[in-house]
């Protein structure tokens, strides 16, 4: 009798916003025994986030195995260059094909739970439960029948951080409820093993980091105990995934990654408010809300979108009047002033990257004189803050520095990564996009990812 070869499998465990350094410290203290099984081994290390270091940018980079200049997601929002309306990023804005599309072409099945920026759920060979910014469970699932089963199990798409931001007890309770829902989804989609790729993302660490990161850093913090209680529940679920993986037959591979790191928040800076102070940003009327880009005046020479994406108001926007010949001087002025900016004697901005520096593959795309990006969504300048500073870009904000409920902020470095079977040929993933490429390499899928323009 001929025994067929074993089915190769890849499991990807996403730990949204988990810093490698924090994970190791808590594991060494004996607080996260399950995570310690992988975090305290030579196979774990930090990797770099894609810029800007936001969830939609990075998780899209993972599931397309490409950078923002290729998949087209540069932040939480996108501004329509024709009418200046602002839209929240979702999968309909993603260019090209996903890992799941490409694996499906080769007859391979994917099961995906809570992966950000996959909403609304699109058909794939397999099953999908979309993550942030999913709003409607019925539109977040494929096949659609999953919605009823998940709803019956108490599945919650997202923690209410609007209320939870000012009420840590409520936040932790909601995080516990969402965690139970993630476990229910895992119990639903894993057991039959009728899959080749399984992606399971826990976004609760990011929410905890934004509002209670100091509680993870200091044992004397009033919310340290309750936060660690939650993380013990989280660690139990991580342990469940690791045990399930251990029981899989070879060949198999486990990839564990965070989409960015985290640090305690010192201060938030609004880039549009700063541009207003510099005489570079104007509105024709009072913005109706923070996303009201239609208020941008033709007098504006620059404006920003989250978190620190600066757009020179050139002819690629309907009301833009900055000529291509003036972009270099304007960009240099903005860069120089931002690098001099301080808050209480501390420098705020670590780097201001040109679009050519931030997205070198995008620089190869054709455009007259190559002075401005061909893609309207690509920023002219990208600001990278010093650790502890968080950038914002609201259209109704007039104060450059402020701080509300948030206590933690993203970092582009120190993102957690683990690979059970690192390649002996290549150096291994350096950035988040490389983790997606590792999945394709594992299945020997190397066909074209991005659809030509």
- Interval 68-83: pLDDT, tens: 999 999 999 999 999 9
Residue 9 has pLDDT above 60, yes or no: yes
Residues 184 and 253 in one domain: yes
Q: What percent of the chain has pLDDT over 90?
A: 89
- The answer to whether residue 449 sits within a structural domain is no
- The answer to whether residue 1 sits within a structural domain is no
Residues 96 and 175 in one domain: yes
pLDDT of res. 161: 86
Residues 236 and 257 in one domain: yes
Rounded to 5°, angle at Cα 35 from 30 and 36: 50
Cβ neighbors of 138 (< 8 A, separation 6 or more) are 144, 147
- Residue 191's CATH number: 3.40.720.10
pLDDT of res. 374: 81
Tally of domains in the chain? 2
Residues 120 and 177 in one domain: yes
Burial code (b: 16+ CB inside 10 Å, e: under 16) for 232-267 equals ebbbebbbbbbebbeebeeebbbbbbbbbbbbebbb
Residues 211 and 322 in one domain: no
What's the pTM value of the predicted model, to 2 decimals? 0.95
- The answer to whether residue 450 sits within a structural domain is no
Residues 389 and 414 in one domain: no
Residue 14 has pLDDT above 80, yes or no: yes
The interaxial angle of helices 204-217 and 20-28, nearest 10 deg, is 60
- The answer to whether residue 447 sits within a structural domain is no
- The answer to whether residue 4 sits within a structural domain is no
Could you give phi then psi for residue 447, rounded to 5 degrees? -75, 175
Q: State how far the Cα of 252 lies from the Cα of 197, in Å rounded to an integer.
A: 10
Residues 34 and 116 in one domain: yes
Residues 206 and 236 in one domain: yes
pLDDT of res. 7: 86
- The answer to whether residue 3 sits within a structural domain is no
Q: How confident is the model at residue 425 (pLDDT cuts 50, 70, 90)?
A: low
Residues 284 and 321 in one domain: yes
Reported as a single tens digit per residue, the pLDDT across 28-62 is 999 999 999 999 999 999 999 999 999 999 999 99
Residue 426 has pLDDT above 70, yes or no: no
* Residue-range definition of the domain harbouring residue 122: 9-264+409-442
Dihedral Cα 89, 95, 99, 100, nearest 10 deg: 80
Reported as a single tens digit per residue, the pLDDT across 281-335 is 999 999 999 999 999 999 999 999 999 999 999 999 999 999 999 999 999 999 9
Residue 135 has pLDDT above 50, yes or no: yes
Residues 369 and 419 in one domain: no
- The answer to whether residue 347 sits within a structural domain is yes
- Residue 276's CATH number: 3.30.1360
Reported as a single tens digit per residue, the pLDDT across 155-176 is 999 998 888 888 999 999 999 9
Residues 421 and 386 in one domain: no
Range name among 126-140, 273-287, 416-430 with the lowest pLDDT average: 416-430
Q: State how far the Cα of 319 lies from the Cα of 104, in Å rounded to an integer.
A: 43
**Sheet of 349-354: strands edge to edge?**
302-305, 309-312, 381-385, 349-354
The pair of three-digit structure tokens given for residue 84, joined into one six-digit string: 């200046």
Q: What percent of the chain has pLDDT over 70?
A: 94
- The answer to whether residue 453 sits within a structural domain is no
Reported as a single tens digit per residue, the pLDDT across 237-252 is 999 999 999 999 999 9
Residues 113 and 93 in one domain: yes
pLDDT of res. 450: 46
Q: What is the mean pLDDT of the chain?
A: 94
């Amino acid at each position: 009798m001929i025994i067929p070869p074993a089915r190769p499998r890849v499991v990807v465990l996403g730990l949204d916003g988990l810093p490698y350094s924090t994970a190791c410290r808590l594991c060494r203290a004996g607080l996260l025994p399950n995570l310690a099984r992988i975090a305290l081994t030579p196979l774990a290390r930090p990797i770099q986030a894609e810029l800007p270091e936001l969830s939609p940018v990075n998780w899209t980079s993972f599931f397309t195995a490409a950078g923002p200049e290729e998949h087209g997601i540069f932040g939480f929002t996108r501004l329509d260059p024709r009418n200046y309306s602002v839209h929240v990023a979702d999968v309909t804005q993603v260019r090209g094909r996903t890992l799941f599309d490409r694996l499906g072409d080769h007859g391979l099945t994917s099961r995906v739970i809570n992966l950000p920026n996959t909403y609304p759920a699109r058909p794939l060979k397999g099953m999908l439960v979309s993550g942030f910014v999913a709003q409607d469970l019925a539109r977040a699932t494929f096949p659609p029948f999953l919605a009823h089963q998940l709803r019956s199990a108490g599945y919650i798409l997202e923690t209410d951080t609007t209320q939870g931001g000012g009420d840590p007890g409520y936040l932790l309770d909601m995080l516990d409820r969402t965690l139970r829902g993630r476990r229910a989804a895992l119990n639903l989609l894993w057991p039959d093993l009728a899959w080749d790729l399984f992606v399971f993302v826990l976004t609760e660490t990011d929410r905890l980091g934004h509002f209670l990161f100091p509680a993870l850093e200091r044992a004397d913090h009033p919310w340290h105990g309750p936060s660690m209680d939650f993380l013990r529940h989280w660690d139990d679920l991580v342990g469940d995934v690791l045990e399930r993986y251990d029981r899989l037959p070879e060949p198999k591979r486990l990839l564990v990654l965070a989409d960015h790191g985290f640090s305690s928040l010192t201060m938030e800076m609004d880039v549009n408010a700063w541009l207003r102070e510099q005489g570079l940003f104007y509105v024709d009327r009072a913005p109706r809300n923070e996303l009201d880009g239609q208020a941008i005046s033709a007098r504006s020479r620059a404006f920003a979108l989250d978190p620190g994406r600066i757009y020179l108001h050139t002819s690629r926007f309907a009301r833009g009047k900055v000529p291509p010949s003036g972009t270099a001087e304007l960009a240099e002025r903005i860069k120089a002033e931002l690098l001099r900016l301080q808050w209480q004697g501390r420098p705020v901005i670590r780097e201001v990257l040109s679009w050519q520096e931030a997205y070198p593959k995008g620089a190869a795309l054709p455009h007259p004189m190559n002075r401005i990006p061909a893609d309207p969504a690509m920023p002219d300048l990208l600001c990278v803050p010093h650790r502890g500073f968080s950038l914002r870009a609201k259209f109704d904000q007039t104060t450059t520095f402020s701080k509300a409920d948030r206590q933690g902020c993203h970092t582009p470095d120190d993102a957690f990564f683990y690979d059970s079977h690192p390649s002996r040929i290549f150096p291994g993933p350096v950035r988040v996009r490389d983790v997606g490429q590792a999945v394709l390499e594992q299945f020997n899928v190397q066909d074209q990812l991005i659809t030509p323009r």
